[in-house]
Amino acid sequence: MEMIVQAARRPIARRLWLSMRKYWAVMRVSIASNLAYVYEVVFRALSLLIIVFILSQLWKTTFSLRGSHTLSGFSMTDMIWYLVAAETFALSAPPLTDRIDQEVRSGQLAYLLGRPCSYVLYHFAQYTGERFVRLVMNAAVGAMLALVIAGVPHLSWMGLLAWPLALFLALCIDFVVYFAIGLLAFWTENTHAFSFIYSRLTLVLGGVLAPIEIFPQPIQAIARALPFSAILYGPARTLVHFTSTAFFALLMQQLTMLMAGSLLLALLYLVVMQYVNINGG
Amino acid sequence: MAMWRCLRVSWRTLRFIGAYTRANLLAAMEYRSAFAMQVVTMTANDSLWLFFWWNFFRQFPLTNGWQITDIVILWAVSACGFGISVGIFGNTENLARLIMTGGLDAYLSMPRYALLHVSIAATDPTAWGDVLFAVGAFLLLVHPGLEQVALFVLLVMLVALIFTAFHALLGSLAFFLGNTEGLLQPIRGALISFSTYPMNIFHGVVRLLLFTLMPAGFISFVPLLLLRHYSWWLLLGLIGATGVFVGLAMGLFALGLRRYESGNLIGMQA
């Protein structure tokens, strides 16, 4: 009893710090368990090699047929490094929706809710750890390929510093969307279809195949009107073609999306929690 | 007499495949709304990609006689062939896992040819979305004549066999290399990726690989040529290549079976 009272009297900063350590530990475990199956991560990175190789061949042909060295300001080298940056993130997503879906259907959710940590933050820590390992592996493999195909890129130090921040915000947006889709398992038979469509919209309209300014019309207009570009195009462009104006516009777009998404997720979470019945025994 | 016997065996095999396909489809449709959702999702996914590439190649056309409908044909033939392969022979993708877990036991004790029996024992419901998309895209965007429709049907059957043989070849590697599931996924993805891009962008060794180790050339490029300018020799070439891949798959499976160790699993097969 005394301990509980003492814990309640701890300053907020201290409590927050202790809480953060809890999720930091979850993230560390997630990183360690993914590194234990490092060959699986390497095999997955093979997909990145193949896709970037195919797209590089396509762009090489396109550049040579156009007879120009740049397309909308992107040289061939920029294009390859852009593709690597975009694919690195696109191919690093863990199957979060399937996991949440499974926990809801199997009832494991009730067991996880009993733990002394937030269900959402627990998954966020686990997801971030898993995605971090995949991102690093993909980036290493992709960078090697890009060096072979296109040579050394002309990256600015500001782009290199800003890229991780843009990637982290994109990761958070992805988490919020996939988590919310997973919670739809309370109502639908199959949430995989929703996450599949979301991932495809992000890939095609988010700029994984090319920077949006090179997109043909009317796709360019559609892609600019939709928020998917903040997930792939924005961070990849930040790395390859950094401009402070575009970066701050991207940050605003990402933060707005993240806040709106988090609010919707919180509402959804409150609603679904009313459906959960826990019977102890 | 031999001819009659051959026809009878073929008919019985087709009926066997048909019965399994029907049973698998009915099982998938047990959850009707989930099935419909999966089919619609896959159709929407394929349509989205095609919409992008259609516009892309309109803005950046390739040379050497490249036509805008070619990208539709590439996608339609690849998607339909893949859809039929995974829809009918859907269990071939699980072959490596079955070999590793001793899951072949149930099939080896059956009177039917084991590789065929394993392959048709499961379906992937999303495959029917690929088929739906492919047929729709081909009919609506290419505006084919009757002969082209008939040729399309024949070509997608051959392509489906190539996909299935490729999956069986990859799966059979588990007999020799052990657990290869992690490695197989990107290779299967690579075949699909290479099949949906114009062959004009690949050169040299890569192009050679696409007609040998990674048969993407036979999956999309040769059917595209045939649908554009029909040639008996090219069709015979494609049939021959399909035969070679199916023969290789059967040969490797038979060779691998000698190394197979039973899992002593007790299973029931309907």
The ipTM estimated for the assembled molecules is 0.89
Residues found in chain B: 270
B178 part of a folded domain: yes
Per-residue pLDDT, A1 = 52
User: pLDDT of A90-141, one tens digit each?
Assistant: 999 999 999 998 888 888 888 888 888 899 999 999 999 999 999 999 999 9
- Please check the confidence at residue B222 and state whether its pLDDT lies above 90: yes
Work out the pLDDT band at B33, boundaries 50, 70, 90: confident
User: pLDDT of B131-140, one tens digit each?
Assistant: 999 999 999 9
Query: Can you spell out the DSSP letters for B87-155?
Result: HHSGGGGGHHHHHHHTTTHHHHTSSS-HHHHHHTT---TTHHHHHHHHHHHIIIII---HHHHHHHHHH
- Please check the confidence at residue A2 and state whether its pLDDT lies above 70: no
Best of A63, A71, A141, A200 to mutate (most B CBs within 10 Å, chain B): A200
Query: Which tokens belong to A57?
Result: 């061949």
**Contact assessment for residue A97 and residue A178, using Cβ atoms and an 8 Å cutoff:** yes
Cross-chain Cβ contact A204/B58 below 8 Å: no
Residue type at B93 in one-letter notation: E
Q: Which domain holds residue B167?
A: 33-257
**Contact assessment for residue A133 and residue A141, using Cβ atoms and an 8 Å cutoff:** no
> In angstroms, what separates the C-alpha of A195 from chain B's closest C-alpha?
10
Query: Which residues in chain B have their CB less than 8 angstroms from residue A196's CB?
Result: 41, 45
B20 part of a folded domain: no
B6 part of a folded domain: no
Does A193 touch chain B if contact means CB atoms closer than 8 Å?
A: yes
d(CA B48, CA B38): 15
Residue B178 backbone class (left: φ over 0; alpha: ψ -120 to 50; beta: rest) = left
Per-residue pLDDT, A71 = 86
- Please check the confidence at residue B270 and state whether its pLDDT lies above 60: no
Picking from B34, B48, B201, the nearest residue to A204 by CB comes out as B48
Query: Which residues in chain B have their CB less than 8 angstroms from residue A201's CB?
Result: 48
Per-residue pLDDT, A222 = 87
B140 part of a folded domain: yes
- Please check the confidence at residue B63 and state whether its pLDDT lies above 80: no
- Please check the confidence at residue A225 and state whether its pLDDT lies above 60: yes
Does A64 touch chain B if contact means CB atoms closer than 8 Å?
A: no
Q: What is the mean pLDDT of chain B?
A: 91
Query: Which residues in chain A have their CB less than 8 angstroms from residue B189's CB?
Result: 47, 50
B44 part of a folded domain: yes
Per-residue pLDDT, B235 = 96
Q: Which pTM value belongs to this model?
A: 0.89
> What is the mean predicted confidence (pLDDT) over B91-99?
93
Per-residue pLDDT, A252 = 95
Q: What is the mean pLDDT of chain A?
A: 89
Per-residue pLDDT, A218 = 83
> What is the mean predicted confidence (pLDDT) over A230-249?
94
With pLDDT > 70 as the criterion, what percentage of chain B qualifies?
Answer: 96
Query: Which tokens belong to B229?
Result: 């300018």
**Contact assessment for residue A54 and residue B197, using Cβ atoms and an 8 Å cutoff:** yes
Number of domains in chain B: 1
B93 part of a folded domain: yes
Per-residue pLDDT, A280 = 62
> In angstroms, what separates the C-alpha of A262 from chain B's closest C-alpha?
26
In what helix (H) or strand (E) does residue A71 lie, and over which residues does it extend? strand A70-71
Residue showing tokens 């009707």: B32
- Please check the confidence at residue B268 and state whether its pLDDT lies above 80: no
> In angstroms, what separates the C-alpha of B164 from chain A's closest C-alpha?
20
Q: Which of A157-161, A207-211, B91-95 has the lowest mean pLDDT?
A: A207-211
Per-residue pLDDT, B180 = 79
B242 part of a folded domain: yes
Best of A40, A197, A212, A213 to mutate (most B CBs within 10 Å, chain B): A197
User: pLDDT of A131-166, one tens digit each?
Assistant: 999 999 999 999 999 999 999 988 899 999 999 999
Per-residue pLDDT, A8 = 60
| Angle formed by the axes of helices A233-240 and A157-183, nearest 10° | 170
Q: Which of A273-277, B102-106, B172-176 has the lowest mean pLDDT?
A: A273-277
What is the CA A76 to chain-centroid distance, rounded?
Answer: 26
User: pLDDT of B145-171, one tens digit each?
Assistant: 999 999 999 999 999 999 999 999 999
> What is the mean predicted confidence (pLDDT) over A242-270?
95
B26 part of a folded domain: no
d(CA A47, CA A82): 17
In what helix (H) or strand (E) does residue A75 lie, and over which residues does it extend? strand A74-75
Picking from A58, A196, A215, the nearest residue to B197 by CB comes out as A58
